[in-house]
């Protein structure tokens, strides 16, 4: 089907969202909570666009989140109208008050002309950079083990394992920390241990050289997922490379 984005006819497919169609067409829409690996949740509200459906009056529009709104025949989308910019600016003022140090928030805020938030800054936050986008919880729940979730409400809303206590559901794979857009999740790595969400994991030493590989829980999870032996995962990358070289050596002389 064809939809109109900023006056340009763009090909869109049934079932996809405005954001997907726009990005494929090279139209930039800012997002902080969008991650290709998981379903969208419309948490950050930054992808707000102005739409008009087929049959609506010419002057009638609605603001929707591009990441959740499905395309439909005859849809007209404005991604950078004054109304859209005003809304995004308001959202960025709130995000900046919440997480003034978060790099992507600052970059976007500057882009929308927000230097200082008119709202009071959040104080004594446990995760000061967390903007509650929920990528970490969605990634963990959909793709790994579901160890963390959102809890509390309103200003107290936060991310973590149930009751904020260390959980054995977490395998210490760092997917949450790696996919966090604002680098909000603290990870401590000493070389032999890894601490995340209040739990300290011992890193399994490489069977050959003793360098750290993954956590025991992560290796157990991979064994279950792939059906391979645990020993396969307990060798560090450098030693695996050397073993490959050794095999080459055997067959080439």
Site for other proteins, rule CB under 8 A: 35-37, 139, 143-144, 173-175, 177-179, 213-214, 218-219, 222, 225-226, 228, 232-233, 235, 237-246, 248-249, 251-253
Neighbours of 86 (CB within 10 A): 12
CB of 175 to other proteins, least distance (A): 4
* Nearest to other proteins of 58, 246 (CB atom): 246
Residues 157, 114 contacting (CB under 8 angstroms)? no
* Nearest to other proteins of 96, 176 (CB atom): 176
* Nearest to other proteins of 9, 237 (CB atom): 237
Whose tokens are 């095999």? That residue is 247
**Structural element, H or E, at residue 188:** strand 188-189
HSE toward the beta carbon, residue 151, CA cutoff 13 A: 10
CB of 101 to other proteins, least distance (A): 18
* Nearest to other proteins of 50, 217 (CB atom): 217
CB of 162 to other proteins, least distance (A): 21
CB of 78 to other proteins, least distance (A): 25
Distance CA 159, CA 119 (A): 22
Whose tokens are 């230097």? That residue is 115
Nearest CA to 105 among 139, 137, 136, 130?
130
Whose tokens are 């409400």? That residue is 153
* Nearest to other proteins of 153, 224 (CB atom): 224
CB of 196 to other proteins, least distance (A): 12
Return the percent helix, strand and coil in the chain, to nearest 5: 35, 20, 50
């Amino acid at each position: 089907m064809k939809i109109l984005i900023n006056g340009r006819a763009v090909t869109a497919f049934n079932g996809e969202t405005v954001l997907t169609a726009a990005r494929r067409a090279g139209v930039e829409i800012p997002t902080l909570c969008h991650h290709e690996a998981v379903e969208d949740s419309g948490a950050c509200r930054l992808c707000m666009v102005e739409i008009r459906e087929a049959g609506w009056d010419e002057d009638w529009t609605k603001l929707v989140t591009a990441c959740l709104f499905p395309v439909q025949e005859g849809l007209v989308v404005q991604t950078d109208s004054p109304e859209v910019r005003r809304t995004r600016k308001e959202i960025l003022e709130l995000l900046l008050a919440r997480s003034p140090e978060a790099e992507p928030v600052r970059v976007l805020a500057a882009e929308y002309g927000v230097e200082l938030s008119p709202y009071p800054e959040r104080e004594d936050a446990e995760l000061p950079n967390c903007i509650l986008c929920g990528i970490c919880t969605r990634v963990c729940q959909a793709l790994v083990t579901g160890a963390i979730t959102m809890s509390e409400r309103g200003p107290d809303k936060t991310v973590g394992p149930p009751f904020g206590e260390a959980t054995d559901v977490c395998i210490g794979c760092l997917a949450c920390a790696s996919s966090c857009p604002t680098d909000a999740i603290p990870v401590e790595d000493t070389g032999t241990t890894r601490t995340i969400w209040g739990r300290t994991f011992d890193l399994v030493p490489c069977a050959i050289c003793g360098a750290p590989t993954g956590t025991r829980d992560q290796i157990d999870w991979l064994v279950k997922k792939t059906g391979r032996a645990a020993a396969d995962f307990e060798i560090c990358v450098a030693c695996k490379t050397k073993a490959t070289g050794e095999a080459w050596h055997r067959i080439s002389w």
